[in-house]
Amino acid sequence: MLTGQQVQRLNSHIAALRPQFFPVLTHATQRLTQAFPAAGPGLDLSTATARHRAAASIAHVLKNLADLDDLAPFLEHAGATLARQGVDSAAAGPIGARAVLDAVKHASGDNWSPDLERDWRDLLAFVSTALARGSASTLARTPAQLRLAA
């Protein structure tokens, strides 16, 4: 969980990056696309629409940093959806986290600090864990898988 100080620092950092934030997130999803074979065949960010949706999901998380408990179901649902599409969230989560961290760090230039890196890592670890939880849940199972389990 993020501390109040981390949330404040992240919100300030996001505000400073706001003019370039969507391109930063798009860059991160493009980096994830390059690495997606490790995540599974269902992670297809090859279209601009898919990258836009992924960037919008990331932006939704970033807008709601103070309410991570409320975001957990959103992220778990996303993890389940990815799992139904054949994505290994255990692999995709860390790859996505690294892509976002690298893109934000690059965009920050001289404003990057060890505190910001720790804050971003903590946030992205929360996101990765929630995605993996959703991927492992019954929500991730297709109707055919649920019938077989019964």
CA distances from 110 to 10, 17, 45, 80, 104 (A): 16, 13, 30, 38, 12
Buried b (16+ CB within 10 A) or exposed e, 87-114: bbbbbbbbbbbbbbbebbeebbeeeeee
Cβ–Cβ < 8 Å for 131, 93 = yes
**Would you tell me how many other CB atoms lie within 10 Å of the CB of residue 24?**
20
Q: Which fold has domain 4-149?
A: Globin-like (1.10.490)
Which tens digits make up the pLDDT trace of 77-90?
Answer: 888 888 887 777 77
pLDDT score for 13: 92
Which tens digits make up the pLDDT trace of 85-135?
Answer: 777 777 777 888 888 898 899 999 999 999 999 999 999 999 999 988 988
CA distance 142 to 75: 18
CA distances from 36 to 15, 19, 57, 103 (A): 29, 28, 17, 16
Interaxial angle between packed helices 89-108 and 114-136, expressed in degrees from 0 to 180 and rounded to the nearest 10: 160
Which tens digits make up the pLDDT trace of 1-41?
Answer: 799 999 999 999 988 888 887 777 777 777 776 766 555 55
CA-nearest of 91, 71, 79 to 139 is 79
Prediction pTM value: 0.79
